[in-house]
Structure 1
Amino acid sequence: MYSIDNKQYPCSTSLTMKYIGGKWKAVILIHLIEKKRYSELRKQCKVITERTLSLQLKEMEEDGLVKRTVHTTKPPLKVDYELTPFGRTLIPLLKSIAEWGKKTAENNNFIQVVE
């Protein structure tokens, strides 16, 4: 049993899913292996609504996975997102998930749609 912020997790898998669970967190995190401006991330995650992207980024920032940097030197305002050192510990896991998805798609003759 694991406990964080007075919430209990029955196993290490459920604790991991606290950080990367849901429909979009792993997708966003894999795009943040390289530092990105919000606009770049938005273009790469077109299928995610702007509201959902913003909420997920905020949650991951609160969880310590993502660092948000605001550049106010000159208009327009620019915001960068990148993985924190804690967030970077997820990179091997994220790459494994992506590789598993690729192999599964190939083995089951899924069609890759390129836009």
Structure 2
Amino acid sequence: MTGTNFSCGLEAVLAILGGKWKPLILYHLAGGPRRTGELRRLVAHVSEKMLIQHLKEMTDDGVIRRIDFRMVPPHVEYELTDFGRSLAGVLAPLCEWGTRHTEEVAAIVQNRKRETGAPSPEAA
């Protein structure tokens, strides 16, 4: 049997949640099933291509389930699987940390932009 050996649990998490938008998709699906258009609005700045790609990868990985209602016009929703819900629960403390430290993180990001001359994410 061949498999991937992770040196720590965080590597296993990143194998599933690697990518800029996947944690945000997971966060928004934790509130219940969502349609693609809803996710596009909720995950600010994600392109249609990246959203669809991440949804497909997360479906293939068993984190989310795609529900096709087979209607005209098309109606598709995404929801968390049990595996995905267990992963979403792990993100909750990270969200709380981010909320507590929003101002500090914003200052760090602003300083980084000034140092590199990078445009703000809002300009993208």
TMscore range, shorter length: 0.7 to 0.9
Between the aligned partners of 1:109 and 1:101, the Cα distance in structure 2 is 8
Matched with 1:66 is: 64
Q: Once superposed, what is the RMSD of the aligned Cα atoms?
A: 2.1
Greater alpha carbon shift after TM alignment, 45-54 vs 7-16: 7-16
Matched with 2:83 is: 86
Matched with 2:48 is: 50
Q: In structure 1, which of residues 14, 21, 29 is the aligned counterpart of residue 18 of structure 2?
A: 21
Aligned length: 107
Identity of aligned residues (%): 36
**Residues 38-57 of structure 1, C-alpha deviations (whole Å, 9 max, x = no match):** 11111111310000000011
Greater C-alpha Rg: 2
Structure 1 unpaired stretches of 5+:
none
- Structure with bigger strand share is 1
Structure 2 unpaired stretches of 5+:
108-124
1:110 aligns with 2:106: yes
